[in-house]
Amino acid sequence: MKLQDLGEFQLIERIRQRATNRAGVWRGIGDDAAVLSLPEGHHLLTSTDMLIEGVHFRRDWTNGKALGHKAVAVNLSDIAAMGGCPRFLYLGLACPGEADLDEITAFLEGALEEAGKFDVTLVGGDTCRSPGPWIISVTVEGSAWAGQEIGRNGASPGDVIMVSGTLGDSALALRMLSSGQALPEELSQRHHRPIARVELGRRLGQQQLATAMIDISDGLAGDLEHILQASEVDGLVMEDSIPRSQAFQDQVKIDPEHGDLPLYGGEDYELLFTVAAENVARVYALSAEIGLPVTQIGVIQEGSGALRLQDKTGAVRPFLVRSYDHFCRP
């Protein structure tokens, strides 16, 4: 069945039937606006991301369910990066009338499954016809105790730079897809089904352990630079300490030209954060408790936003930032 055989309002009704209302939702899908509340003393956190077919994804490289999952995960990641707890989800969807209803249903399933994992409720959205590409716009709202949000601007000299998980996997998967190579399953998962580090982010916020935080969507170099500039400090990263997965290391042995992807590659959705030296042990304890490795990759120094890299010989060089810009070629 095609979307045009069902129609906008029937689709919205199907979406409404699948959404379950949770805490804080007084009115969800079905009215002119959602009516929501936050726990007493919390600030509202809001983040939106767009995914455009042909720019952010190719439907022949992924499937509806993975796409729904990823569209939500990348937004949850932004709330996590603020040290917040995600709560409400909005789904804007534009598809051509000929779009396959099964693919849309799978997309919804993926999105709702991912939201459900974190008790996030789908409370609204918009549905339109697109003249061609699929356009997905996801908004997530969350909350944090007033004043406990973690911005990009709190890093101080002496803080340690830490990152969760491993870096470079998603970008490597994309490169391999682009050149028609078969993907090891681990890399495929990392690219198509990124995991938002919701628990780590929320706990770093709640326990006030991170001084600054960002999620890595554009690559370590570019995203760290956002922290350095917002905090008006310099950063020194030890190249050798950047965590790489086994699958990544195996692939780089075959093809060494991918070696710098942990520095520049995007879409890992790991958390990059700074921690006062006296709190580093507590962060490792938290990491062990939730079962998500974190790695110390550098230190914050006095300065005005410059990033430097130290190689295994100890030589230090300035970082050449090549993070992705939608309008400028790097």
Query: How many residues of this chain bind ligand ADP (CB under 6 A)?
Result: 13
Six-digit token string for 139? 């908004």
Facing residues of 95 across strands?
A: 129
Binding status of residue 31 toward Mg ion by CB under 5 A: no
Nearest residue to Mg ion, by Cβ distance, number only: 126
Options 24, 124, 165, 243; binder of ligand ADP; rule CB under 6 A: 124
C-beta separation of 39 from 206 below 8 A = no
CB 230 within 8 A of CB 273: no
Neighbours of 97 (CB within 10 A): 13
Choose between 34 and 183: whose C-beta lies nearer to ligand ADP. Answer: 34
Closer to ligand ADP by Cβ: residue 15 or 160: 15
3-class secondary structure, 160 = strand
Q: Does 8 bind Mg ion (CB under 5 A)?
A: no
Q: Which residues of 119-152 are buried (b: 16+ CB within 10 A; e: fewer)?
A: ebbbbbbebeeeeeebbbbbbbbbbbbeebbbbb
> Out of Mg ion, ligand ADP, none, which partner does residue 31 contact, by CB within 5 to 8 A per kind?
ligand ADP
**Which of Mg ion, ligand ADP, none has residue 125 at its interface (CB below 5 to 8 Å by kind)?**
ligand ADP
By a kind-dependent CB cut-off of 5 to 8 A, residue 30 interacts, out of ligand ADP, Mg ion, none, with ligand ADP
Cβ neighbour number for residue 317 with a 10 Å cutoff: 10
Distance of alpha carbon 266 from alpha carbon 258, whole angstroms: 13
102 binds Mg ion (CB under 5 A): no
Q: Which is nearer to Mg ion, 134 or 264 (CB)?
A: 134
Looking at residues 109 to 138 of the shown chain, list those that interact with Mg ion (rule: CB under 5 A): 126
Please report, as residue ranges, which positions from 45 to 84 form the binding site for ligand ADP (by CB under 6 A): none
Out of 4, 46, 127, 189, the only residue in the binding site for ligand ADP (CB under 6 A) is 127
Sheet holding 307-310, edge to edge: 212-215, 271-275, 160-164, 294-302, 233-238, 307-310, 316-318
- Judged by CB under 6 A, does residue 126 bind ligand ADP? yes
Location of structure tokens 């932004």: 78
Distance between CA atoms of 171 and 169, rounded to whole angstroms? 6
Ranges of H-type helices in the chain: 3-6, 8-18, 64-80, 101-117, 169-178, 185-192, 198-206, 220-231, 246-254, 261-264, 280-290
CB closer to ligand ADP out of 93 and 176: 93
> Given candidates 71, 81, 91, 144, which one binds ligand ADP under the rule CB under 6 A?
91
- Binders in 259-278 for Mg ion, by CB under 5 A: none
Binding segment toward ligand ADP, per CB under 6 A, in 121-129, 232-240, 263-271, 286-294: 121-129
**Contacting positions for Mg ion (CB under 5 A):** 126
**Contacting positions for ligand ADP (CB under 6 A):** 12, 15, 29-32, 91, 93, 122, 124-127
